[in-house]
Structure 1
Amino acid sequence: MDSITQAVLGATLQGAMLGRWQGRKALLYGAALGTLPDLDVVIRYSDAVAAMTYHRGFSHSIFVLSALAVLLTLLIRRWRPNPDYSTQRLFIALWLVLVTHPLLDSFTSYGTQLFWPLQTPPIAWSSVFIIDPLYTLPLLLAVLAGLAFGLKDRTPRLPLAALALSSLYLAFSLGGKFMAEQRVADVLEREGIRPQAVFSSPTPFNTLLWRVVVLEGEDYHEALVSWFDQAPPVLERIPRGTDLARGLRDSPQHLRLAWFTHGILRYDRIDQALVVTDLRLGMTGFHPFRFILAEHRDGRWQPLAQARRWPTDRGDAERLKLLWQRVWQQDQAVPLASWAGLLRQ
């Protein structure tokens, strides 16, 4: 999730656990600690694929963060002891603030390596967009109220209520994901399509309209599904360019990218560049993570030693408005195939 959301989540948690003793400082400590795992962005990696796939790695590991919580508890008890609350409460507060950061990240589409250093694929439950105001708002209001009115000697009713509301919203998002995938599964069964993989995620800034991607051989299908739809979803078939993947057999970047994304990739030749797109993130045709992994030279594809980012368009307000209209009106046309064609430019 975005840094503001992670900060207010950490602040709300520490305010709920330690605010009655630490007062407003609990909000500041929690906000700082809640954003700590994202400091791995300052590390310089070898190329663009490494920068993407090693982010949310060791700094988001529940093992590393649990050890850090233990260390911080010991240091605070040694240098800044407070007899008003127990060591156990301090540890639980610090552990929750740290560990909820990667857990929340796991609800997005990016991919979080919760169990690093184990080589398990990244976890991406993909039930919330990377920025979702409805999740953030209760937490933000609780933090602002705590800063305005204080927390010392108070029962943390508002922080606890905000945490309950935001957690219920996450549960609602999982329900939306199940709904969208089930409706698409019914269509796949009716049309006799046997998918290699199915990936679903909410469209930008909401959990009402869902985008479902279905891989099938050399093509993939995309569909939009809203909570308010009455008719079955319509699948649009789009070429995936999998024949180009043969030119990447010797590319370690492609191997790692396929592992990180669970293979939800698309391949395009643009001039002399072989561009690989992570289809999970962003919106159809507007995907933030695209990489040049090979160039066509001397009659064949030559994998690059260092992958480079391909410039991307993030869309515009008109397209967001169209998606918002599609939430409520199933007959609102959204040109998914046309948008997907923009990736060849």
Structure 2
Amino acid sequence: MDPVTHGIIGASASQSFSTQKEHRYAAVTGLLAAMLADLDILISDASDPLLNIEIHRQFSHSLIFIPVGALLAAGILWWFMRQKISFKKVYLFSLLGYATSGIVDSLTSYGTKLLWPFIDERFSWNIISVFDPLFSLGVLIAVGLAFYYSNNKIAQFAWAWMLLYLLFGMIQQERGKDVAKSLANQRNHQIEELVVKPTIGNIFLWSIRYKTTDTLYADGLHLMSLTAPTIYEGSAAPLLDWKKKYRSYQGTTLYNDIKRFDTLSDGYLIQHPEHPNIIGDGRYAMLPTALNPLWGIKIDTTNAEMHVPFKTFRNPTSNVRSNFLNMLLGRNHTFTR
């Protein structure tokens, strides 16, 4: 989730357990502690581009690291607050704020290693976008009013808003799964793996990705109301059998990096349609109906012992923006790719 939303959620957690006298210190502490976990984005190695992606949402977001992360935050913040509030309270507020980071991220896509190092699995509930302004606005209003009036009861309204919003997201997702299964049945497809997740910035336009045999299918789904959903049938692309294609490179850095990226992409690897030397993550595209990956790795078989470069392909052209807006508004429209 975006850093600002992380921060205000952390603030709402610490505010909810503060007295009126310590309320504003609690808010600042919870806000900054919640944002601390995402500093893992700074861990990188220029010679190994995939390291940064592997580390993000890993140890710093795991449940077992919460007391450690809170201690780091408290150690820094208490230096500025030591004459106003005890270290014990700063640590408590840091703990409440930091604890929200990994849990909130797991509600989005991409995945969070909540149980690292015991289980090396990324948890992704896919019920809210990594950036959802409506969700964030509700939290911000409650946190801001609670801060202004130094009232922890108002801060608790933020949690009521979050729970209701996330519950709605779960309902939307279940509706999306039902539609995906119906679509697959109409096409005589047997779904092997399915991902249904909201598109960026909203909870009404959803992306469907499902695997069947050796093919990945993409569709869009508008779920604004409880009436019949609007379906936007999209693209299909063959899944990349990278183990077969790059069998002769086993043991090389190239092969190992493809394997790492396959793990990070949860096995949704496809060839980028516009870049033949790019292996992309088929779960993410600018449009829910498209299979033009937002990111991927560049393959160079002439340098098999070099780490693969990581490339991004975010190009919101006017055509892409227009198509996205039409789908977001639920318009029946013929889309161009």
TM-score scaled by length of structure 2? 0.83
State the SS of the aligned residue for 1:8. helix
C-alpha displacement of 1:219 = 2.2
User: In the alignment, which of 248, 261, 265 is matched to residue 261 of structure 1?
Assistant: 265
1:196 aligns with 2:182: no
Unmatched segments (≥5 aa) in structure 1: 339-345
State the SS of the aligned residue for 2:170. helix
Paired residues for 1:60-71 under 5 Å = 60-69=61-70
Q: Distance in 2 between matches of 1:329 and 1:2?
A: 26
TM-score scaled by length of structure 1? 0.81
Partner residue of 2:300?
295
Paired residues for 1:8-157 under 5 Å = 8-18=8-18, 20-45=20-45, 46-69=47-70, 93-147=93-147, 149-151=148-150, 154=151, 156-157=152-153
One-letter amino acid of the counterpart of residue 246, structure 1: K
User: In the alignment, which of 197, 202, 210 is matched to residue 206 of structure 2?
Assistant: 210
Q: Distance in 2 between matches of 1:129 and 1:74?
A: 32
Residues 220, 240 of structure 1: 8 Å contact kept: yes
C-alpha displacement of 1:9 = 0.9
1:220 aligns with 2:216: yes
One-letter amino acid of the counterpart of residue 308, structure 1: P
C-alpha displacement of 1:177 = 1.1
Residues 247, 303 of structure 1: 8 Å contact kept: no
Q: Distance in 1 between matches of 2:25 and 2:84?
A: 14
Structure 1 runs of 4+ with >6 Å offset: 70-77, 81-84
Q: Distance in 1 between matches of 2:330 and 2:135?
A: 24
Residues 133, 205 of structure 1: 8 Å contact kept: yes
User: In the alignment, which of 234, 241, 250 is matched to residue 236 of structure 1?
Assistant: 234
Q: Distance in 2 between matches of 1:137 and 1:214?
A: 32
C-alpha displacement of 1:311 = 4.1
Q: 1:203 to 1:112 in 2, by over 3 A?
A: same
State the SS of the aligned residue for 2:16. helix
One-letter amino acid of the counterpart of residue 138, structure 1: G
Residues 223, 235 of structure 1: 8 Å contact kept: yes
Higher RCO (C-alpha under 8 Å, 6+ residues apart) = 1
User: In the alignment, which of 263, 274, 277 is matched to residue 277 of structure 2?
Assistant: 274
% identity of equivalent residues = 20
1:290-324 deviation digits (Å, cap 9, x = unpaired): 111x2244xxxx64521212241242465344323
User: In the alignment, which of 170, 177, 185 is matched to residue 166 of structure 2?
Assistant: 170
Unmatched segments (≥5 aa) in structure 2: none
Q: Distance in 2 between matches of 1:143 and 1:328?
A: 30
1:224-276 deviation digits (Å, cap 9, x = unpaired): 112246367454342235245533443112222222222122124867x6312
Residues 236, 291 of structure 2: 8 Å contact kept: no
State the SS of the aligned residue for 1:20. coil
C-alpha displacement of 1:72 = 7.2
Residues 202, 210 of structure 1: 8 Å contact kept: yes
C-alpha displacement of 1:223 = 1.1
C-alpha displacement of 1:38 = 0.8
C-alpha displacement of 1:114 = 0.7
Q: Distance in 2 between matches of 1:304 and 1:287?
A: 25
Q: Distance in 2 between matches of 1:201 and 1:169?
A: 15
C-alpha displacement of 1:25 = 2.0
Q: 1:309 to 1:275 in 2, by over 3 A?
A: same
Residues 110, 280 of structure 1: 8 Å contact kept: no
One-letter amino acid of the counterpart of residue 334, structure 1: F
Q: Which deviates the most, 312-321 or 254-263? A: 312-321
Residues 36, 73 of structure 2: 8 Å contact kept: no
Number of residues of Structure 1 aligned to a counterpart in Structure 2? 324
